[in-house]
Chains A and B, each alone.
Chain A
Amino acid sequence: MKFKKTVLTALAVILALGLAHSALAQKEITLLNVSYDPTREFYQEFNATFVKYWAEKTGQTVTIRQSHGGSGKQARAVIDGLEADVVSLALAYDVDAIARGELISEKWQSRLPDNSSPYFSTIVFLVRKGNPKNIKDWDDLIKPGVSVITPNPKTSGGARWNYLAAWGFALKRWGDEAKAKDFVAALFKNVPILDTGARGSTTTFVERGIGDVLLAWENEALLAINTLGKDKFEIVIPSLSILAEPPVSVVDAVVDRRGTREVADAYLRYLYTEEGQILAGKHYHRPRLESVAAKYEGQFPKVNLFTIDQLLGGWPEAQKKHFGDGGIFDQLYQPNK
């Protein structure tokens, strides 16, 4: 049967091409960094710098790929088979989730300095120029007629920081969980749209002109102001906010399988060097290194910060209580027309 032969030959050729393609791809060293939303610009520049550094140090050429999205969504993609060598996510819980999927060692957080978060940030408000709704602090967000933009805490790490910052503020102000719950419920009543990632929310606020205030990573807010115009937006620092520590880790199962542990490890450690810290500062993440932090002092105003351990008992508890299925967030958020 000649036809059969041709079909089979065609299939074989396609298969061979596919295999050759993947074989070719394996010759060069590649790293995939699966990250959360607002780090696009930072890692783009950091990757280029690291590639140069690594070539000088070892003579190897390494290609670094990036994938960005809401932190929770990205973590689930890694659990579901997205082959990340390193993850740089918005919060420790998402890395823990991957660790529970047995892809990352349980002790990941102690493997690198500063809880494995080479830079930190916080949550601030981005408002339209002149602050027409006169938003000064968290309690202004629940006023009627104020439209608040924040992403979906189920998929976005930044959104969980936003939510917990609001919760922490209410807890500190009224010292009572029931009051805190009412406060956050009132806040989410004012949220007309939940994007899946922080970048989606920024686009909604900045490009689509929806909302009076965007709850954002400080770095995302600074990026929006500095690239899209100081004449359009301004940043408001609330009286209290949360210390947000986005962690990084190698994905042990993947680097061991692909033989990329050495370069993946060096990649993450490079984040802690002066070069890495300068780039972090340049892209509006707060650096850990004192010398670099001093250099960027003017960029980052003093903020009164609390940590998740202080007010919320750490990530596992906060996650379960607030963001699990049927958790407080599910009870609070009833989208309305």
Chain B
Amino acid sequence: MKPKSILLKQRGVLPGFGLTMGFTIFYLSMVILIPISMIFIKTASMSWDQFVGAVTSPRAMAAYYLSFTASFIAAMINGIFGIIVAWVLERYNFPGKRIIDGLLDLPFALPTAVAGITLTAIYSSNGWFGQYLEAIGIKAAYSPLGVVIVLTFVGLPFVVRTLQPVLHDFDKEMEDAAASLGANRWQTFTKVILPELLPALLTGFVLAFARGLGEYGSVIFIAGNMPMRTEITPLLIMIKLEQFDYAGASAIAAVFLLASFTLLLLINLLQRRKNLVRA
């Protein structure tokens, strides 16, 4: 952070504050703030009992439960495999490494509808992988497992991309020191390397989790959308909208928004902690 005096001086020197600030505020209000406030305005039109009834109905509770557990499991999978992938990409050389590294961000760039129909095609009972899973009695598509699969896909890059730079900058001398003190490789990893990775791992995990929570496009194709069983919260909002129950949709959306904002806050806190640790 620069000393405040310099920054304050700048306002007098550089032009354009009024224009850029004015435009920014105007645009933010028109495009973001006014529209999003509609959720809360609409929700406020309900009585307290109606609100509680809408957000705690068994169907809504089942939807929150699925959204949270599926996102959590998917983030766990991404956490575990993310460590391996990041490790392999940063520490080893093998053919195809650069292609993998380049394509890793695909889940960010691929439209979610495409991801949805494709993963459904692969994991449904007559798909490439689905048929083998079916043979051993596992139903992948149109079950909660399907939700986990697509959420694993959409959250895949987060952990890898947060871990890579930390692994990269990791001080090899500490590893060598541990080894010279008699630690074996596994001990070195769990006692020396992993603690250093932990803040980044946690950040990647929460990012993947938050991403999974809001996901809609890819999930609706694979989930089967059965009420109480495979209906995620964004889909329930959509169904309420289609029934033109705007107030009910807004109520659930408001609850969901608060959850996402909390996660956003958590991510920022983690980030600050991580920066402190690294500083």
> A residues near B, CB below 8 A?
1, 3-4, 7, 69-70, 72-73, 76, 80, 152, 154-155, 192-196, 204, 208-210, 334-337
CB pair B124 A337 closer than 8 Å: no
Neighbouring A residues of B228 by C-beta, 8 Å: 335-337
CB pair A204 B242 closer than 8 Å: no
Q: Which of chain B's residues has its CB closest to A69's CB?
A: B242
Of B186-194, B201-209, B210-218, B219-227, the one contacting chain A is B219-227
Size bin of chain B's contact surface: 20 to 34
Neighbouring A residues of B239 by C-beta, 8 Å: 152, 155, 196
CB pair B224 A208 closer than 8 Å: yes
Picked from A7, A70, A192, A209, the residue with its CB within 8 Å of the CB of B226 is A192
Give the complex CA separation of A207 and B226 in angstroms: 15
Neighbouring A residues of B161 by C-beta, 8 Å: none
CB pair B141 A208 closer than 8 Å: yes
CB pair B23 A7 closer than 8 Å: yes
B59 is an interface residue with CB less than 8 A from chain A: yes
State the majority secondary structure of interface residues on A. Answer: loop
B16 is an interface residue with CB less than 8 A from chain A: yes
Give the complex CA separation of A154 and B245 in angstroms: 10
Neighbouring A residues of B225 by C-beta, 8 Å: 193, 195
CB pair A80 B226 closer than 8 Å: no
Picked from B58, B124, B227, the residue with its CB within 8 Å of the CB of A208 is B124
13 extra interface residue pairs, beta carbon distance < 8 Å, beyond A69-B242, A193-B225, A196-B242: A4-B19, A7-B23, A70-B242, A73-B244, A80-B244, A152-B239, A155-B239, A194-B227, A195-B225, A196-B239, A209-B125, A335-B59, A336-B228
CB pair A193 B224 closer than 8 Å: yes
Question: Least Cβ distance of B29 to chain A in Å?
Answer: 16
Give the complex CA separation of A72 and B62 in angstroms: 25
Known: A335-B227, A336-B228. A208 touches B142 (CB 8 A): yes
Name 19 interchain pairs, CB-CB below 8 A, sorted by A. Answer: A3-B16, A7-B23, A69-B242, A73-B244, A76-B244, A192-B229, A193-B225, A193-B227, A196-B242, A204-B224, A208-B124, A208-B142, A209-B125, A210-B224, A335-B59, A335-B228, A336-B228, A337-B62, A337-B229
Question: Least Cβ distance of A318 to chain B in Å?
Answer: 18
Question: Least Cβ distance of B7 to chain A in Å?
Answer: 22
B275 is an interface residue with CB less than 8 A from chain A: no
B243 is an interface residue with CB less than 8 A from chain A: yes
Neighbouring B residues of A337 by C-beta, 8 Å: 62, 228-229
CB pair B224 A155 closer than 8 Å: no
Neighbouring B residues of A154 by C-beta, 8 Å: 243
Give the complex CA separation of A196 and B225 in angstroms: 10
